[in-house]
A = this chain, B = another copy of it.
């Protein structure tokens, strides 16, 4: 807040570094993300982050953890704003999913990158925020009757659908950017039967 001119003791360096990392991701992409650039953007020597993160990898994990928080927030917000029937709840959630992917392209790529393993023994902050996002998806899918054949069949199908759609939109800008979240669900939604 007020610490603009203190030479030492930034005060909030840790979160500031994370946010700077996210900013750089969105302006320069994954390739441009370096410790030195992050530190410079915050206005601090490139050696300073070492006091807050064990190394570059740890900072990346922290960025991904924050990314999952924003991701989950957006899904939750969109879902909660939707009508209370299961279909609309699901569509709202997916709207948030797609919005996050569209507005945070490189961050979306980072949080789903294969070298930050979600289930391996990783930073606890990261695991917690990732799990929160996944649980949102799970809970919303649980509003419907499960697949008779596969324990998590419909959930995986829904997740694949929205994730693939988000990825392909980022990949190929030609794909119907004007279509909403409902489009890929056209055939599926009527097949899902709400519980009770």
Interface residue ranges, A against B (CB under 8 Å): 29, 31, 105, 109, 112, 114-115, 118-119, 147, 149-150, 152-154, 156-157, 159-168, 170-176, 179, 183-188, 191-192
Contacts and interface: CB of A to CB of B under 8 A. Distances in A.
How many identical chains are in the complex? 2
A161 B161 contact: yes
Given A156-B175, A165-B156, A191 B187 contact: yes
Given A31-B115, A119-B172, A150-B179, 10 more contacts: A29-B115, A154-B187, A156-B175, A156-B183, A156-B184, A157-B183, A159-B164, A160-B162, A161-B161, A188-B188
Given A147-B186, A186-B150, A161 B157 contact: yes
A186 B109 CA distance: 28
Contacts of A161: 157, 160-161, 164, 184
Contacts of A162: 160, 164
B114 A174 contact: no
B163 A176 contact: no
Nearest to A148: B186
A152 B164 contact: no
Closest 5 CB pairs of A and B: A164-B164, A160-B164, A163-B164, A160-B165, A157-B184
Contacts of A187: 154, 157, 187-188, 191-192
A144 B185 CA distance: 17
A118 B163 contact: no
A163 to B, nearest CB: 4
A176 B164 contact: no
